[in-house]
Every structure is written in C-alpha cells, then in structure tokens.
C-alpha cells in the first residue's frame, strides 16, 4: 500500500498515521474506524492557495463539503481560509453549526427546496449557484419577501465530457445539472438574472466531473466559458467577475492512478484563462475552484478487523472485514479500486493473494478483489487507504450496520470527530 502524507510503518511494524499507531487507535476507538491525517488535509488546502498566490491572480478555493463534512472539518477548512460549498440543508446546517462564516458558504444543487433556500437566505450566505429556471424564479420570490439581494453564479454545462466514470461526469449537455450553452438556455438565464432587481450576477460556474486525470477537459471548458463571457457582454453589456471551474482534481487510489500535482492543474487553469480572456479583451475574472476529493481523499484510511477467512481451493480466498459497502460503497457503485495492508503486521512474510469482502448481505459487497497481503489471520487489522472522500459521506445503514467512528490524527494526538453509531442511534427515528 502506498503511504500517503505522514503515514509510515513504525518500529513495531505497525502502520502509523499522523504520528499515531493504528493498533492503538483501534484499541481505543474500535473498528471500523476512519483515520484522517490532519496534516495532509491542511497541506492540500495550502497547495491550492499557494498555486494561485504564486500566479498572483484573484481566486477563491472552496472545499466541496459533499466529499466529507463534520464540525471538526468545517473548523479546519475555516482555519485554512477556504470557502465551503454545500448542496443541501444538511450540509448548510453542519457548516452553520460549526460557526463557519456564512459569507464564505456557496450553495449548489439542482433541486434546492424552499426551506433550504430560506435557511440560506436567513444565514445570508455568500452566493447561490443557480442551476435551473425554476430555482431562478423561486429564489427571487423568496428574496423579495425578505427584501434581500443575492449574489448569483449560474451553473453552466459547457458541453464537455470529462473522461471519468459515467456516473460522475457532469459537464455534458444531457445532464440534470445547469444551463446549456449550446441550446441558448445559458444566455436566456443570464438575461433573466440581469432583469431581476435583487440579483447580482457575479459569474459563471461549471463542473465537468470528478477524478479527472487530464487537463484537456478544463482547457476546453475555459475556451467555451470565456467565449460565453464575451457573448454575455456583447448581448447584455454585463461584465462578470467570477469564473468558477468546479472541482474534479484526481487522487492516487492505486499505482494505476497518476494524478497531476495540484500546482500543475492550477497552473494550466490559470494559463488558459489568461490566454482566452486576453484574446477576448476581457478583464481577467477571479478564478474559483471547488476541490473535494483532492482535499480529503488521500488523507483518509479505514481500519477494519479481519474476521472470517474462507478459502475455496483453487478458486479464491475471501477475507471478511467488519465493515463493507455500508462504510465504503464506492467499490460496489463505481468499481473503485483501493490498496490495503495489514496495519498490525506490515512486514509479515508469505504473501498471498486474497479478496476483501464486506459483511453486508450482498455478493457485490466486495471492498477489494485480489490484493497481495502477508498471510492473513483472524484478528489482524486491515488498513484500506484513500478512503477520505465520498466514503463516510456516502455511508449508510444497510443491514442496520452502524456507521463507523472517525478520528483525526495530528502530531501523535488522536481526536474523535464523529463517534461510532450505536444500536440506539439505529432505532432513534423508529416509531413503534
């Protein structure tokens, strides 16, 4: 398993994350537990900021909280000076409860409800990323009732297909998100926003997908969006200040993944934006990005206890852990790959090829097919790396499994940031 961030193997042959021994973490917090390397999260936040600062452009880095959010992480994101994207009342509520500055919260989503919009207006958040005509009308009506002006970014589908899993591409024309540039709806939306007295159209947003390894999709989007900025100016006289290119920057799950360093993605984005906007003689807008996965993904490691081991001679050895698709649905949903190691016996000999099964009642609940590990024994601890993004955030109670505990490790100190669900939690909303 590749060791990300501060992870290393200590003198006992145990995995250590954030200076804390994985075996000791599980002795205190049980399994499964997701351990975040806090230093790595902070380093990723800083890498984005530094890449922009180096280029001397106006920018905003907004963490896409859908990748993982809890009160502690909201505090960390605030301390690092990033903004925060939310897509639901629940994410917004968490951010507000954490005391995250409302003016740095951006509200996304293709079906914001009336009550969510009211909650966001009440909090006076920084901007709404408006997704469709219905929302354009509804938001204005609600803002009018409060005599409140609202900053708007319009979500545009540039018609660019990112090369990633089809479930996580979003920039294509046939998408539930945003206004299409090609069919004229984007321009129509701009005209509607400009005509509404309480709206301030600050810019355009686009997000083409997630876990994108190449820069070509961003380059193509920038070309289309810069052209759209120019068209808007020509048709309406309106100048916009913000070009938001969304998230999607990739991470290294396995040795087959070769993500670009953050610096490189941002350099390409800045270079292309400068080029296109100079070509169009348009003032360089502020560049906003919304990384989610690349802030928290590599920083998370899940520790499981190994239980049943089943060998089918000549076929396969199934090694079962005490979690599965309830705490990490990505392998089942996207055929996502992870690397793993024995966290208590990193140097164990006699390597063997095994497959890691979850404990949920479904054949598809396999966390890793074919991984080489030291000869596994019951009670060993399995570490699965790169589980920081879209794992806890997508965790569920299938089979009435309890969601795991989450801890942050930093300089040898471990802090529990989400406690493990209890059986009582599972029946909390049941009505007899």
Residues near ligand LLP (CB under 6 A): 64, 66-67, 85, 108, 168, 170, 207, 210-211, 246-249, 290-294, 330, 334, 390
Closer to ligand LLP by Cβ: residue 42 or 293: 293
Nearest to 347 by CA among 7, 4, 15: 15
CA distance 406 to 384: 14
Nearest-approach distance from CB 168 to ligand LLP, in angstroms: 5
How many angstroms separate the most distant Cα atoms in the chain?
73
User: Quick one: 108 or 337, whose CB is closer to ligand LLP?
Assistant: 108
Closest distance of CB 234 from ligand LLP, Å: 27
Beta bridge partners of residue 340, listed in sequence order: 384
Which of these is catalytic: 45, 118, 361, 386?
361
Alpha helices in 14-113 (DSSP H): 22-29, 38-55, 71-79, 89-97
**Closer to ligand LLP by Cβ: residue 20 or 73:** 73
Q: How far is the CB of 108 from ligand LLP (least distance, A)?
A: 5
Q: Which of 26, 180 has the CB closer to ligand LLP?
A: 180
Q: Which tokens belong to 132?
A: 């469709």
Q: Which of 303, 324, 321, 252 is nearest to 409 (CA)?
A: 303
Could you write out the DSSP letters of every residue in 294-359?
HHHTTTEEEEEEEEEEEEETTTEEEEEES--TTT--HHHHH-----EEESS-TT-SSEEEEEEE-S
CB of residue 29 to ligand LLP, shortest distance in Å: 24
- Name the residue nearer to ligand LLP (CB basis): 108 or 112: 108
Q: Is 45 a catalytic residue?
A: no
Paired tokens of 239: 């100048």
Shortest reach from residue 330's CB to ligand LLP, in Å: 5
Write out the H or E segment, with its range, that includes residue 62: strand 59-64
Please confirm whether the linkage preceding 32 is cis (ω < 30° from 0): yes
Q: Which residues are catalytically annotated? A: 361
């Amino acid at each position: 398993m590749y060791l990300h961030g501060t992870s290393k193997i200590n003198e006992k042959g145990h995995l250590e994350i954030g200076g804390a021994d994985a075996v000791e973490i599980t002795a205190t917090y049980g399994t499964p537990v997701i351990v975040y390397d806090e230093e790595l999260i902070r380093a990723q936040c800083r890498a984005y900021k530094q890449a922009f600062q180096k280029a001397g452009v106006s920018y905003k880095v907004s963490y896409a909280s859908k990748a993982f959010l809890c009160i502690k992480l909201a505090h960390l994101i605030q301390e690092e000076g990033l903004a925060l994207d939310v897509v639901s009342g629940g994410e917004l509520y968490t951010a507000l409860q954490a005391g995250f500055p409302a003016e740095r919260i951006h509200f996304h989503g293709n079906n914001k409800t009336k009550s969510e919009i009211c909650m966001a207006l009440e909090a006076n958040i920084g901007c709404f990323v408006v997704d469709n005509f219905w929302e354009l009308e509804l938001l204005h009506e609600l803002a009018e009732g409060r005599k409140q002006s609202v900053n708007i970014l319009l979500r545009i589908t540039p018609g660019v297909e990112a090369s990633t899993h089809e479930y996580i591409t979003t920039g294509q024309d046939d998408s539930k998100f945003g206004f299409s540039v090609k069919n004229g709806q984007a321009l129509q939306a701009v005209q509607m926003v400009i005509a509404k007295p309480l709206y301030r159209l600050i810019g355009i947003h686009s997000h083409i997908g997630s876990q994108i390894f190449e820069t070509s999709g961003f380059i193509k989007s920038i070309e289309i969006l810069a052209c759209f900025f120019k068209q808007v100016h020509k048709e309406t006289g309106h100048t916009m200040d913000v070009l938001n290119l969304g998230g999607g920057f990739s991470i290294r799950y396995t040795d087959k993944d070769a993500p670009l360093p953050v610096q490189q993605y941002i350099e390409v984005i800045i270079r292309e934006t400068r080029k296109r906007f100079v070509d169009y003689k348009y003032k360089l807008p502020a560049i906003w990005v919304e990384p989610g996965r690349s802030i928290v993904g590599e920083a998370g490691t899940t520790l499981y206890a190994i239980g049943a081991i089943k060998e089918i001679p000549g076929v396969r050895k199934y090694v079962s852990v005490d979690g599965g698709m309830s705490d990490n649905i990505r392998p089942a949903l996207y055929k996502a790959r992870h690397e793993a190691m024995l966290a208590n016996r990193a140097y164990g000999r006699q390597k063997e090829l095994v497959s890691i099964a979850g404990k949920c009642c479904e054949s598809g609940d396999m966390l890793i097919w074919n991984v080489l590990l030291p000869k596994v024994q019951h009670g060993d601890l399995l570490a699965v790396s790169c589980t920081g993004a879209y794992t806890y955030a997508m965790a569920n109670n299938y089979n009435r499994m309890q969601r795991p505990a989450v801890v942050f490790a930093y300089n040898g100190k471990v802090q529990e940031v989400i406690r493990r669900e209890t059986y009582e939690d599972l029946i909390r909303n049941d009505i007899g």
